[in-house]
Amino acid sequence: MARSRYPGLSRALVGLVASALTVGGLLALGPATAHAEPPTAAGPQVGASQVPAHAVTGYWQNFDNGATKQTIADVQDEYDIIAVAFADATGTPGQVDFTLDPALNYSEDQFKKDIAAKHDAGKSVVVSVGGEKGAVSVGDDASADAFAKSIVALMDEYGFDGVDIDLENGLNATYMTKALDAIHAAKSDVVVTMAPQTVDMQSPQNGYFKTALNIKSYLTVVNMQYYNSGSMNGCDGKVYSAGTVDFLTALACVQIKGGLDPSQVGIGTPASSQAAGSGYVDPGVVNDALDCLAKGTSCGSFTPDEKWPGIRGAMTWSTAWDATAGNKWSSTVGPHVHGLP
C-alpha cells in the first residue's frame, strides 16, 4: 500500500471480484447532518461545520520515504483537510499516540503552531490512524474506550480537528462505531474521515462500509483508495479495472447507491506514479470523474443514472509526493473541486 515508509510498497493486489454486487433497493439513511454548534475551548479549532461543501484532502507524511519533506506549514493551500499520517499503536489495545519522526527535524512546538496557522486559514487537520504498517485493533469495549479516549486526548494536545480511519487489516463495525460515537459525544464538531481500500466498500455488509453507515449523521467523508487494487464491481454489476475514469465513477456509485450521501464520497488517488504501487491516473482523469458524477459529463463507458452535484471531492496520497511532482495533483484537482457546483 502506498502509505508506507517505503515508496512503491503495496499490498498484494486484490483478486477479481467474482460476482456482481446488487445495490438496488438499499435504504439510504438521509443526508449527513451538519453540526453548527461552536467548538468548546478544548474542542476542534475548525471542525466539521467549517469543512467546505467540496473539499480536497491530503495526507501529510510523518516520516521520510524519499518524497519532499514538509512541515504542516508547507502543505499546499489547495488542501482543505490535512490528515497527519500516522498515529501509532501503544501497548494498550486500541490506544494510539503520536510522536513526530526525528527524521523530519521538526519540533513539537512548531508543529502545534503550524496546525494553529492552518486553522486560521480555515483548514482542518486530523490525525490518521492505520496505514499499511498500522497495528491498531478495536475489537471490544475496552479497546473502543481506549481508542476514543486517546484520540480525544490527541485532539486536546495538538489541536487536531478529528480523526481519519485508515485501518487496512480489518475493521470491527460494532466496536469502531462505539469508539467513534464516544469521540463525537466528546467533540460534537469532530471531523471524521475514512480511507478504506476498494474491497472494503463493495458491500454495505462489509465492516468498513457498515461503520460508515452507522456514523452517517456525523461522518465527514469517505475517501476510498482507488489504487493498489485489483478489478472491482461497479454499481451496474460490471467489472472495472483500476486506472480508468470508469473505475473511479462506478465505484463511487456503489458507495452512494449503498447508502452514503454524495457529500460523504471522495475520490482518492496517488499524487504521482511514485506514490503507489499501482492505480495512478493523471489528475485530469480525477477531474473527469468528478464532472461525470456531479454533472453527467466527461464520463467513460459508464454513466451514472443520476447526477450528484453534492459529491464531496478528492483525496491524495500524499502532499509530499505532490510536492515532489511539482504540485501537479493539487494545482489540477484543487481548483476543479473548489469550482464544482
DSSP track, 150-211: HHHHHHHHH---EEEEE--S---HHHHHHHHHHHHHH-TT-EEEE--BGGGGS-TTSHHHHH
Tens of pLDDT, residue by residue over 162-180, are 999 999 778 999 999 999 9
Name the average pLDDT for the chain. 89
| Angle (CA) 127 90 156, round 5° | 40
Q: Mapping DSSP to helix (H, G, I), strand (E, B) and coil, where does residue 64 land? A: coil
φ/ψ of residue 88, rounded to 5: -115, 150
Q: What is the mean pLDDT of residues 76-81?
A: 98
Q: What is the pLDDT of residues 54-69, one digit of tens each?
A: 999 999 999 999 999 9
Hey, which CATH number is domain 48-229+259-281+310-326, 3.40.1160.10, 3.20.20.80, 3.40.30.10, 3.40.190.10?
3.20.20.80
Q: Kindly list the catalytic residues.
A: 168
Q: How many CA atoms lie within 13 A of 297 on its CB side?
A: 5
**Concatenated DSSP letters of 259-325:** T--GGGEEEEEESSTTSSSS----HHHHHHHHHHHHHS-S--S---SS--TT--EEEEE-HHHHHHT
- Note the pTM of the prediction, 2 decimals: 0.88
Cα separation, 154 vs 43, in Å, equals: 11
Average pLDDT (120-133) is 90
Residue that the C-alpha cell 466528546 belongs to: 186
pLDDT at 309 over 70: yes
Q: Which of 194, 183, 196 lies closest to 155 in space, CA to CA?
A: 183
CB atoms < 10 A from the CB of 238, how many?
12
Domain ranges of the chain: 48-229+259-281+310-326
Report pLDDT digits (tens) over 217-275. Answer: 999 999 999 999 999 999 999 999 999 999 999 999 999 999 999 999 999 999 999 99
